[in-house]
């Protein structure tokens, strides 16, 4: 990767590469690239998108048996849903690492924290990292391709599509749904209704 003299980017890249398998590292690069592409379209801060995209899954390969212990050790508070769906925990620990190891801004850390679920009233950066993760080049499922088509025209519509598709999948597989995801869906739908009435 080209750092162009950005020492922070280099430090994050080296750290992430040390923590992840080649496949997941390549995914991180793909999310970073998608986030930069979306930043250009929607006028977000490209550097923030770069850092957040690259580091978002840094804690994804912590063994399941260690997530709860690690969260407790770091003082990362988990709710009941997270404790019962460990897939969600990597986002919170990733945000913690971004803050403590790299002193990334609260806005970037929030985007890492919500990249799996979304949340109510997402910032532009949160939206880009959420949908950048869903539509990254390495995703081979149809829904990712469809969401990518949508996101080139409308960021919020793409997130609503991704949330709906995820809800259906989670329901079919008897997996818990985090309230932040429902909040994300409701807040985007309310926003859409308001815009229609204008
Ligand atoms: Fe993730
Ligand atoms: Fe990811």
Task: Say if residue 7's pLDDT is above 90.
Answer: yes
Q: How many domains does the chain have?
A: 1
The reply to whether 18 falls in a domain is: yes
The reply to whether 2 falls in a domain is: no
The reply to whether 72 falls in a domain is: yes
**How confident is residue 196, by pLDDT bands cut at 50, 70 and 90?**
confident
The reply to whether 1 falls in a domain is: no
- CA 167/CA 51 separation, integer angstroms: 28
Task: Say if residue 91's pLDDT is above 90.
Answer: yes
Task: Say if residue 197's pLDDT is above 90.
Answer: no
The reply to whether 51 falls in a domain is: yes
Q: What is the mean pLDDT of the chain?
A: 97
Give me ligand 2 centre to Cα 69, in Å. Answer: 22
Domain containing 103: what range?
7-197
The reply to whether 149 falls in a domain is: yes
User: Which one of the ligands is nearest to 62 CA?
Assistant: 1
Give me ligand 1 centre to Cα 190, in Å. Answer: 26
User: Which one of the ligands is nearest to 90 CA?
Assistant: 1
The reply to whether 74 falls in a domain is: yes
User: Which one of the ligands is nearest to 59 CA?
Assistant: 1
User: Which one of the ligands is nearest to 144 CA?
Assistant: 2
Task: Say if residue 32's pLDDT is above 90.
Answer: yes
The per-residue pLDDT for range 152-173, each reduced to its tens digit, is 999 999 999 999 999 999 999 9
Give me ligand 2 centre to Cα 95, in Å. Answer: 13
Task: Say if residue 127's pLDDT is above 90.
Answer: yes
Give me ligand 1 centre to Cα 53, in Å. Answer: 10
Q: What is the CATH number of the domain that holds 81?
A: 1.10.3210.10
10-17 LR contacts (CB < 8 Å, sep 24+): 11/102, 12/51, 12/54, 12/55, 12/102, 13/54, 15/55, 15/58, 15/101, 15/102, 16/54, 16/55, 16/58
Average pLDDT (122-128) is 98
Give me ligand 1 centre to Cα 15, in Å. Answer: 16
The reply to whether 62 falls in a domain is: yes
């Amino acid at each position: 990767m080209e750092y162009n003299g950005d020492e922070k980017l280099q430090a994050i890249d080296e750290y992430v590469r040390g923590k992840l398998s080649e496949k997941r590292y390549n995914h991180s690069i793909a999310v970073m690239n998608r986030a930069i592409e979306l930043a250009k379209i929607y006028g977000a801060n490209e550097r923030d998108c770069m850092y957040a995209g690259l580091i978002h899954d840094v804690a994804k390969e912590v063994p399941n048996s260690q997530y709860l212990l690690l969260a407790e050790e770091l003082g990362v508070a988990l709710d009941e849903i997270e404790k019962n769906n460990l897939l969600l925990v990597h986002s919170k620990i990733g945000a913690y690492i971004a803050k403590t190891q790299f002193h990334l801004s609260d806005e970037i850390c929030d985007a890492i924290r919500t990249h799996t679920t979304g949340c109510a009233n997402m910032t532009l950066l949160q939206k880009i990292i959420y949908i950048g993760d869903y539509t990254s080049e390495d995703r081979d499922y149809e829904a990712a391709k469809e969401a990518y088509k949508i996101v080139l025209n409308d960021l919020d519509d793409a997130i609503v599509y991704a949330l709906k598709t995820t809800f259906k999948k989670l329901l079919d597989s008897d997996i818990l749904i985090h309230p932040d995801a429902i909040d994300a869906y409701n807040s985007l739908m309310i926003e859409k209704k308001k815009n229609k009435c204008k």
